[in-house]
A = this chain, B = another copy of it.
Protein backbone atom coordinates (compact mmCIF):
# COMPACT_ATOMS: atom_id res chain seq x y z
CA UNK A 1 0.00 0.00 0.00
CA UNK A 2 1.05 3.57 -0.49
CA UNK A 3 2.32 4.48 2.92
CA UNK A 4 4.14 7.53 1.68
CA UNK A 5 4.00 11.27 1.61
CA UNK A 6 4.52 12.58 -1.91
CA UNK A 7 6.52 9.47 -2.68
CA UNK A 8 8.66 9.87 0.43
CA UNK A 9 9.06 7.50 3.33
CA UNK A 10 7.22 8.73 6.35
CA UNK A 11 9.70 9.01 9.17
CA UNK A 12 9.05 10.52 12.53
CA UNK A 13 11.21 13.53 11.76
CA UNK A 14 9.42 14.20 8.51
CA UNK A 15 6.05 13.97 10.16
CA UNK A 16 7.08 16.42 12.89
CA UNK A 17 8.53 18.88 10.43
CA UNK A 18 5.59 18.63 8.08
CA UNK A 19 3.18 19.20 10.92
CA UNK A 20 5.17 22.21 12.05
CA UNK A 21 5.06 23.71 8.58
CA UNK A 22 1.31 23.33 8.27
CA UNK A 23 0.94 25.60 11.28
CA UNK A 24 3.03 28.49 9.96
CA UNK A 25 1.64 31.39 8.03
CA UNK A 26 4.94 33.11 7.33
CA UNK A 27 8.10 31.74 5.72
CA UNK A 28 10.69 30.42 8.19
CA UNK A 29 14.42 29.79 8.11
CA UNK A 30 15.86 26.34 8.90
CA UNK A 31 17.42 27.78 12.04
CA UNK A 32 14.10 29.25 13.23
CA UNK A 33 12.36 25.98 12.53
CA UNK A 34 14.97 24.03 14.44
CA UNK A 35 14.60 26.36 17.43
CA UNK A 36 10.83 26.15 17.43
CA UNK A 37 10.60 22.38 17.16
CA UNK A 38 10.33 20.43 20.43
CA UNK A 39 13.85 20.06 21.85
CA UNK A 40 15.55 16.95 20.56
CA UNK A 41 13.08 16.38 17.72
CA UNK A 42 15.92 16.07 15.25
CA UNK A 43 19.35 17.25 14.34
CA UNK A 44 19.79 20.60 12.62
CA UNK A 45 21.27 18.85 9.61
CA UNK A 46 18.14 16.75 9.39
CA UNK A 47 16.09 19.94 9.31
CA UNK A 48 18.18 21.14 6.39
CA UNK A 49 18.02 17.82 4.60
CA UNK A 50 14.31 17.34 5.13
CA UNK A 51 13.47 20.84 3.99
CA UNK A 52 15.50 20.23 0.89
CA UNK A 53 13.72 16.95 0.31
CA UNK A 54 10.30 18.55 0.73
CA UNK A 55 11.35 21.29 -1.64
CA UNK A 56 12.40 18.79 -4.29
CA UNK A 57 8.99 17.13 -4.28
CA UNK A 58 7.34 20.57 -4.28
CA UNK A 59 5.76 20.24 -0.86
CA UNK A 60 7.36 23.53 0.14
CA UNK A 61 8.59 26.68 -1.56
CA UNK A 62 11.99 28.23 -1.04
CA UNK A 63 12.75 31.91 -0.99
CA UNK A 64 15.75 34.06 -0.28
CA UNK A 65 15.22 37.08 1.90
CA UNK A 66 18.12 39.26 2.91
CA UNK A 67 20.79 36.61 3.05
CA UNK A 68 18.80 33.75 4.37
CA UNK A 69 16.76 30.89 3.03
CA UNK A 70 13.08 30.74 3.93
CA UNK A 71 10.63 27.93 3.37
CA UNK A 72 6.85 27.75 3.44
CA UNK A 73 4.25 25.23 2.38
CA UNK A 74 3.23 25.24 -1.24
CA UNK A 75 -0.21 26.75 -1.68
CA UNK A 76 -2.05 28.14 -4.64
CA UNK A 77 -1.94 31.60 -3.13
CA UNK A 78 0.49 34.11 -4.56
CA UNK A 79 1.93 36.20 -1.73
CA UNK A 80 4.52 38.87 -1.29
CA UNK A 81 6.00 40.23 1.88
CA UNK A 82 6.70 43.41 3.77
CA UNK A 83 9.97 43.08 5.65
CA UNK A 84 10.91 45.55 8.36
CA UNK A 85 14.52 46.70 8.15
CA UNK A 86 14.59 47.40 11.88
CA UNK A 87 12.87 44.54 13.69
CA UNK A 88 12.85 42.11 10.75
CA UNK A 89 9.19 41.38 11.29
CA UNK A 90 7.47 40.09 8.18
CA UNK A 91 3.89 40.41 7.06
CA UNK A 92 2.15 39.39 3.90
CA UNK A 93 0.28 41.21 1.18
CA UNK A 94 -1.64 39.67 -1.65
CA UNK A 95 -1.74 42.40 -4.23
CA UNK A 96 0.63 41.65 -7.04
CA UNK A 97 0.84 44.14 -9.87
CA UNK A 98 3.51 42.06 -11.54
CA UNK A 99 1.19 39.36 -12.76
CA UNK A 100 -0.34 41.29 -15.59
CA UNK A 101 3.07 42.50 -16.72
CA UNK A 102 4.62 39.11 -16.90
CA UNK A 103 3.46 38.18 -20.35
CA UNK A 104 4.72 41.45 -21.78
CA UNK A 105 8.05 41.05 -20.02
CA UNK A 106 8.36 37.50 -21.30
CA UNK A 107 7.68 38.53 -24.86
CA UNK A 108 9.88 41.63 -24.81
CA UNK A 109 12.86 39.81 -23.36
CA UNK A 110 12.45 36.32 -24.74
CA UNK A 111 12.57 35.05 -21.20
CA UNK A 112 10.39 32.41 -19.57
CA UNK A 113 9.45 33.63 -16.10
CA UNK A 114 8.81 30.85 -13.61
CA UNK A 115 8.53 32.85 -10.40
CA UNK A 116 9.01 36.33 -9.04
CA UNK A 117 9.49 36.70 -5.32
CA UNK A 118 8.96 40.26 -4.15
CA UNK A 119 9.76 41.77 -0.84
CA UNK A 120 9.10 45.36 0.04
CA UNK A 121 11.63 46.57 2.57
CA UNK A 122 11.02 49.45 4.91
CA UNK A 123 9.80 50.31 8.37
CA UNK A 124 6.82 48.71 10.04
CA UNK A 125 4.25 50.51 12.11
CA UNK A 126 6.21 50.06 15.33
CA UNK A 127 9.62 51.00 13.96
CA UNK A 128 8.49 53.84 11.70
CA UNK A 129 8.35 56.46 14.43
CA UNK A 130 11.75 55.55 15.87
CA UNK A 131 13.20 55.95 12.46
CA UNK A 132 11.65 59.25 11.39
CA UNK A 133 12.10 61.24 14.57
CA UNK A 134 14.25 60.55 17.59
CA UNK A 135 12.15 60.23 20.72
CA UNK A 136 11.91 63.40 22.80
CA UNK A 137 14.19 63.68 25.80
CA UNK A 138 12.60 62.54 29.08
Contact = CB atoms under 8 A, between A and B. Distances in A.
Interface of A: 64-69, 82, 84-85, 91, 93, 95, 97-98, 100-102, 104-106, 108-125, 128, 131-132
Copies in the complex: 2
B65 A67 contact: no
A94 to B, nearest CB: 11
Pick from A66, A120, A121 the residue with the most CB of B within 10 Å: A120
B82 A109 contact: yes
A65 to B, nearest CB: 7
A121 B128 contact: no
Given A64-B65, A66-B64, A69-B67, A124 B111 contact: yes
Contacts of A125: 110-111
Contacts of A105: 82, 93, 95, 120
Considering residues A65, A82, A104, A125, which has the most beta carbons from chain B within 10 angstroms of its beta carbon? Answer: A82
Contacts of A118: 98, 116, 118
